[in-house]
Structure formats: C-alpha cells, structure tokens
Amino acid sequence: MDSTPRGNRLHIAIFGRRNAGKSSLINALTNQDIAVVSHVPGTTTDPVYKAMEILPVGPVVIIDTAGIDDTGHLGELRVQRSLDVLNKADMVLLVMDAGAGLTEFELDIAERCQEKKLPVVAVLNKTDVHPVTESQMNEMKEKLGLEPVAVSALTGAGISDLKIALVKSAPPSWDDQTIVGDLLNPGDVAVLVVPIDLAAPKGRLILPQVQTIRDILDHDAMAYVVKERELKECIATLNKKPKIVITDSQAFLKADADTPPDVLLTSFSILFARYKGDLETLVAGAKAIEKLKPGDKVLIAEACTHHRMEDDIGTVKIPRWLRQIVGGELDFHWSSGHRFPTDLSEYKLVVHCGSCMINRREMLSRIMQVQQAGVPIVNYGVCIAYVQGILRRALSPFPMLQEMLDDED
C-alpha cells in the first residue's frame, strides 16, 4: 500500500458541516486513529490529504475538508478551499449529522457534484445518538436524490454497508485492473494450460482464458496455449524459459508436476480472484475448510447460469473434495446468476466461482456481505489448490500471500 503512488489512488473527499463527524468517520473506515477528533466544531480548518488503505477498496487518498457551514471571513476562505477539492476528487462522501438532518449546505454540495459528474455517497452519521426511521430515510432520499447510508462512526454500526456503497459508487476507472500484465515484462513468455474436455465450450475458449491472453498481449509479452498433456513438451522445446504457467484449476496437479520449480505457477481462477475481488480474503477463507464438520452448511455460489455437465465443478467435484477432507456429508446449498442469499449467517463457508461474468464491484460487494455475516469465503481456484495441497505453489506469483500462509501455519 505504501508504494502505491498518490496519483494511482482513489481520491475520496469528505464533505459535511462542522461537527458532523467527518474525522470520526475516517477513523472508523480505516479502523485507525488517523484523524484528529474533537467535539469542538471546526477542528479541521484546511483540506488534509491522507494516504491510507480502506479494505477491500484498496489504496486511497482521503481528503478531509473544513465544515461547509464555516462562518466569518476566514470561514468563507476555508469553505472555498474545500470546494476547490471537488476538482481533485474521484468521489465524495457527504456526511450529515442524523440529529441535524438535511440542509441547504448538503443540497449545494450534491448539486455541485452532479454538475461535475462526481459520484456521491451520502452518509447519515451519529445514529447511535439519533436513530432514524425508514420514513426519514425515504424523505432524505427524495430531497437529496441519493439513498443515505446510516452509520455510527462511534460504534461502527453501518460501516460495512458504507464500504459496500463506496465500492458500488466508485467511478468506472477505479476498477481498471490488470489480470497478469503486472507480473510480466515485455518479451516474457506465459504458457496457458487449457484442457479441452466435456466442460469446454465447442469451438471457442472461455472468457477468462481469452481475457488473459489479451492482457498478456497488451503488455507486450508472449502467450503460448496448450492442453495439459502438452505442457511438459512445450516448456522443453521453448528457447526461452517461461516466466509463468497459468492453468485451468482442474489441471492443477498435472501442471504442477510438469512446471519447473523456478517457474511461477498459478491458475486463471486465482488470477481472477485478484482481478475481480480480494485475493487475500479468499486465501484466508481457504483455512476454514479444515474447520468444517459433517453437517455444516456450505454455500456454493456461481455468478452465471450454465448447462451442468456430468462431472460439473460446482455441483460435483468441489462437493466431493470437501466431503473427502471433512470425512462426512455436508449440507450443500447452491445459488446462481444474480441471486445471492441475503441471510448468509447460517453457512460455515461460502465457495464462490471465479466471477468472470460479474464486475469487480459486484464481487467485492458479495465478499463484504459474506464478511458482514462473519462467514469465511473462498473461490473455486483457491479452494481447489487448497484441497489438492498445492495452494502455496499456486500463490508463487504472490510471495506476500505465501508468507501469510506460513504465518497461519
């Protein structure tokens, strides 16, 4: 996080009246005492830029501004400096005191943001002191044109919902990620292992494979595509050692056996866990597999609907592998497409697909919903690598995550 240049971070400006709890909200979002908090109105005078990390949003710059209702000659100057921040922000958090409600100050900021096409998340703070009713929320939504998120920066209530709102409202450019290009230098060789079996679509490759090939080419590297039986021969006949081998998860063991130990190895699904979600959280979720007991409820979630094959990965293979580890029957439930259960608390583990058919915002939103319920989550690729005993090898492109596994072990 510290090495991320400020220009590459999502810039989030926090606006609100004096003593609305803007600084307290920053501390609640980061779970750190970063901003100075005081009951005295006007503690923040000039815009303050703070580089930090908000999980799972990632590296951001929070711009803490002076109260938009500041008064006097100096107050007017502070307000103008705060308004100038709108020219630098990627999105705005508009913070309101639940006890004070909506005023012309918030309406003015919302209008300015609309003119600049800046995404806005409205936050109703201090709900621990001033609980709000559904009718009050609806009235504010109608007047402001935004659905507010009710939170208490003091107790932490609603902060997870606020993070979900941040992810969903962030500007489109925010989730422009690379699949594998940042792991390659121009001229590097990547070998892609693509099994052609009953599950493979006739006459074409699946979307993650196509997207990975395009990402490799966009970064001026070279892509070789082989079936799992041809991997060893391909590596042996290349004049240049591959930088990385990327395999379909179902061919992990074969690819591991045929890939030299000094060549990076991972899977499409693990790359997409990083590209579309939060790989660190999904790796941590794999550790929960060992804690499963017979009879536990497990949700297997897929983001699309497709024709089930005889040995389908989500309905047959993963359940079989999990039963083998647990040593008994598990209570499996399935969801597919845009349907995602609202009550997740009953599950002991959520196993999610590679999310190739949804965007990063939706996948992060799902991850946060599962985390809110206190349930671990893992994706297909990480799960398969874990149950087959090669997760550490499959994380070879990501040494920090390997260290995380070592620390947990």
CATH code of 320's domain: 3.40.50.11410
**What integer pLDDT is reported at residue 31 of this predicted model?**
79
Looking at residue 38, its pLDDT comes to 47
| Any domain includes 316 | yes
Do both 262 and 332 map to the same domain? Answer: no
Residue 392 lies in a domain: yes
Whether residue 208 lies inside any domain: the answer is: yes
- Provide the domain count of the chain: 3
Whether residues 147 and 195 share a domain: the answer is no
**Percentage of the residues of the chain whose pLDDT score is greater than 90:** 57
Give the mean pLDDT of 321-349: 92
Same domain, 63 and 163: yes
What's the CATH code of the domain at 38?
3.40.50.300
* 29-33, 47-51, 184-188, 364-368: the lowest-pLDDT one: 29-33
Residue whose structure tokens are 């999502």: 10
pLDDT at 73: 81
Of 213, 243, 271, the residue at which a domain comes to its end is 271
Confidence tier at 198 by pLDDT (50, 70, 90): low
Are residues 286 and 256 part of one domain?
no
Q: How far apart are CA 11 and CA 85, in angstroms?
A: 10
Q: Are 276 and 363 in contact (CB under 8 A)?
A: yes
Q: In the chain, what percentage of residues exceed pLDDT 70?
A: 90
* Residues in contact with 261: Cβ distance below 8 Å, sequence separation at least 6, in sequence order: none
Q: Alpha-carbon Rg of the chain, whole angstroms?
A: 24
pLDDT digits over 271-288, tens only?
Answer: 988 888 889 999 999 999
pLDDT at 356: 74
351/221 same-domain check? no
Q: Are residues 295 and 319 in the same domain?
A: yes
For residue range 69-84, list pLDDT tens digits in order. Answer: 888 888 888 888 889 8
Say yes or no: 124 and 18 in one domain.
yes
Residues 342 and 396 in one domain: yes
Q: What is the pLDDT of residue 92?
A: 95
Answer whether residue 408 shows pLDDT above 70: no
- Which of 218, 236, 271 delimits the end of a domain? 271
- Is there a single domain that holds both residue 248 and residue 350? no
pLDDT for the residue 59: 79
Residue 28 lies in a domain: yes
Residue 409: band (very low, low, confident or very high) from pLDDT cuts 50, 70, 90: low
Tell me if 1 is assigned to some domain.
Answer: no
Average pLDDT for residues 258-264, to the nearest whole number? Answer: 96
Closest CA to 230 of 195, 263, 198: 195
Does residue 11 share a domain with residue 88? yes
pLDDT in the model for residue 40: 47
Task: Please state the rounded mean pLDDT for residues 213-240.
Answer: 96
Is residue 174 situated within a structural domain? no
pLDDT digits (tens, 9 = 90+) for 158-180: 999 999 999 888 887 665 678 99
Classify residue 175: in a domain, yes or no. no
The neighbour count for residue 206, using CB atoms within 10 Å, is: 15
Q: What b-and-e string marks burial along 275-304, b requiring 16 or more CB atoms within 10 Å of the CB? A: bbbbbbbbbbbbbbbeebeeebbbbbbbbe
The model carries a pTM of 0.68
Range of the domain at 64: 6-169
Is 337 inside any structural domain?
yes
The predicted-structure confidence for 99-153, as pLDDT tens digits, reads as follows: 998 999 999 999 999 988 889 999 999 999 999 999 989 989 999 999 999 999 9
Whole-number pLDDT of residue 97: 94
Domain boundary, last residue among 253, 271, 289: 271
pLDDT (tens digit per residue) in 18-69:
989 998 898 898 877 755 444 544 454 568 888 887 877 777 888 899 889 8
User: Is residue 298 within 8 Å of residue 348, measured between CB atoms?
Assistant: yes
For residues 20 and 92, membership in a common domain is answered with yes
- CATH number for 230: 3.40.50.11420
Tokens at residue 124, please?
Answer: 């109703």
pLDDT at res. 1: 40
Could you tell me the sign of the dihedral formed by the alpha carbons of 352, 191, 265, 396, in that order? negative
Q: Which amino acid is at 250?
A: Q
Residues 20 and 98 grouped into a single domain: yes
Q: Measure the CA–CA gap between 88 and 205, rounded to whole angstroms.
A: 42
Mean pLDDT of the chain, nearest integer: 87
Q: What is the DSSP string of 14-62?
A: EEE-TTSSHHHHHHHHHTS--S---SSTT---S-EEEEEEETTTEEEEE
